[in-house]
Structure 1
Amino acid sequence: MGFWDKFVVPPLISCACATKPIMKQREKVVPLATGKVLELGCGSGTNFGFYDASKLEKLYALEPSPEMMARARKAANEYGWASRIEFLETGAENVPLPDGSIDTVVITFVLCTIPDWAGSLAEVRRVLKPGGKVLFSEHGLAPDQGVAKWQRRVERFWKPLAGGCHLTRDANAMLADAGFVMEDVHTMYLPSTPKIAGFVSWGQARAA
């Protein structure tokens, strides 16, 4: 890991993923989490303030970056969540939890970055209980050809600067391809955000 990825990317991503429009997106899905919850890519703990403590039995916060994990642990202490969170410092491609043990999986603004997204979503299906749900909010490939063209042009420069973030992934298609049934899905361009990074979708998904 180079200087940029270790010392620049964590604060850069933490700041970018906590803008007002993105926080509004998080607020739409995270409070719906119930029971035993797994959050993929908790980052610096940006979602912690949105969970409804009365609905949660346990929160497993998965994050592969030690630098981000340190920030997340600090956030957990600040929100008073330290005793209710179990941190999993690993990638989403190999979730260290039993089959059918999770009620809700929260995925917010991480599918754009996970290297093996198909393997990670297969793990999500494995750990979800029958009838369990995925709550997601992601940015990605825009439906407008003009915007999508620029996303493809910019992506190769964007990825190394933004911790491997892809601009052209389609979260809805990825979840559907992984065998999830999409429910209550919405899309929009985020306000005050460049369109190449601002097309978002959010909603719920269940294993077919």
Structure 2
Amino acid sequence: MKLSASLGLISDLRAAVRVAALPTLQAIFYSPSLVLRPALLSRTFMAAVWAAFSGPTDEGARPAKLTLIPQATGAVLDIGAGHGHSIDYFNRAVVTAYIVLEPNELMHDAIRVRANGGLFPFFSTPLPNLFTAAGYNEENGTLLILRGCGAEDTSMILAQLAGANLRVNTMLSIMTLCSIPDPQENISRLVREVLEPGGRLLFYEHVLSPRADVAWWQRFWTPLWRLAFDGCCLDRPTHLWIDAMEDKDKGGESVSMWSERELWGKEGEPEEHLFWHRVGKFVKHSD
């Protein structure tokens, strides 16, 4: 791997510090106890980073998102929703409810604004009848922002879904599974217990590269990167974990979790890339 590519993250870290250091220091000034709460401090830093870079990040992922997210149907659970950019790609005619799993509560206000039809981006190549004002809101039950839980809190998720009389038909993850705790266990539990039989898991994730030299640098940078970016890991083979996921049939035998699976890459992405992406559409078995 070329040295310039392996050290590219340094400029990303500098940019993040440049935009997020002052807001984070201001938050500490007003609430000094933040220094004793590293998880909340990390989320404060990440919220400032995402306020600056969520738009450009969405722009860079747009071609992949345009092929993936419009396949969402029914009630959609957005794991790690960020600022809710996924809404912009929904087919409103078939996505009936938007369920937000975003543990960073500092992002919830931005999600509400977007879900209610604000902050719509400009599409240089508009798709007729696909992108319309979202109109998801809590008052009519089409928007549910899950409270006080992350991807690992399955029982809390199920309780809040039941309270809203919602069941998850599509599970969506856009560059989120890189940061959830105990990823193999929690991804599997989410799919097994929360996603309806026959439901879809749609994901766009940066994952561990198959190239040994790139993977070495991903592992090298991950301890620092996860500290700065709220647990984000560069070295998770998330796509392989999902593909290998198993369930039990009615007789107690192990079977594949999936009745259908599609996995592809990000078009035009070079192999020497620390953020190597995989895009997937997996359909949960209905037996």
Using structure 2 for the length normalisation, give the TM-score. Answer: 0.65
Whether contact under 8 Å (2:266, 2:279) holds in the other structure is no
Alpha-carbon distance between aligned partners in 1 of 2:267 and 2:179, rounded to the nearest angstrom: 19
TM-superposed CA distance for 1:164, in Å, is 0.7
Q: In structure 2, do the counterparts of structure 1 residues 109 and 192 end up closer, same or farther at CA, with 3 Å as the change threshold?
A: same
Is the CA contact (8 Å cut-off) linking 1:13 and 1:162 kept in structure 2? no
Cα distance 1:116–1:161, how it changes in 2: closer, same or farther (>3 A)?
same
CA distance in 2, matches of 1:42, 1:190: 26
Matched, 1:46 2:85: yes
**How many angstroms apart in 2 are the aligned matches of 1:28 and 1:174?**
22
Give the aligned partner of residue 180 of structure 2.
114
- What secondary structure is seen at the aligned counterpart in 2 of 1:59? strand
Offset of residue 27 of structure 1: 2.3
Identity of aligned residues (%): 26
Of 170, 180, 195, the match for 2:273: 195
Q: Mark the runs of 5 or more structure 1 residues left unpaired by the alignment.
A: none
Match of 2:192 among 115, 125, 138: 125
User: Which residue of structure 2 lines up, in the alignment, with residue 142 of structure 1?
Assistant: 209
Match of 2:221 among 145, 154, 173: 154
Name the CA distance, whole Å, in 1 between partners of 2:264 and 2:74.
24
8 Å Cα contact 2:222/2:233 also seen in 1: yes
Q: CA deviation at 1:176?
A: 2.7
Instruction: Tell me how far 1:190 sits from its aligned partner.
Output: 6.3
The counterpart of 1:11, out of the listed 44, 48, 52, is 48
The secondary structure found in structure 2 opposite 1:54 is coil
Q: Supply the RMSD in Å over aligned alpha carbons.
A: 2.6
Residue pair 2:261, 2:280 contacting (<8 A) in 1 also:
yes
Q: Which amino acid aligns with 2:44?
A: F
Runs of 4+ in structure 1 deviating by more than 3 angstroms, as ranges, are: 1-4, 13-18, 188-194
Q: CA shift at 1:113, angstroms? A: 0.6
User: How far 1:193 moved relative to its partner?
Assistant: 11
Counterpart in the other structure of 1:92: 151
Q: Which has the higher strand share?
A: 1
Task: Give the corresponding residue for 1:31.
Answer: 70
How big is each residue's C-alpha offset from its partner over 1:101-156, in whole Å with a ceiling of 9 and x where there is no partner? 32111111100011132224312221222211111111110111111111111111
Check whether the contact 1:122–1:178 (CA below 8 A) recurs between aligned residues: no
Residue 205 of structure 1, CA deviation: 1.2
The alpha-carbon distance between structure 1 residues 92 and 6, as it changes in their structure 2 partners (threshold 3 A), is: closer
Larger radius of gyration: 2
Q: Which residue of 1 aligns with 2:263?
A: 185
**8 A Cα contact 2:77 2:100, kept in partner:** yes
Rounded Cα–Cα distance in structure 1 between residues aligned with 2:188 and 2:115: 25
Contact between 1:21 and 1:191, CA under 8 Å: does it hold in 2?
no
Question: TM-score, normalization: structure 1?
Answer: 0.87
1:105 is the counterpart of 2:171: yes
Cα drift, residue 67 of structure 1? 0.6
> Where does structure 2 lack aligned partners over 5 or more consecutive residues?
1-36, 119-133, 247-256
SS at the partner of 1:12?
helix
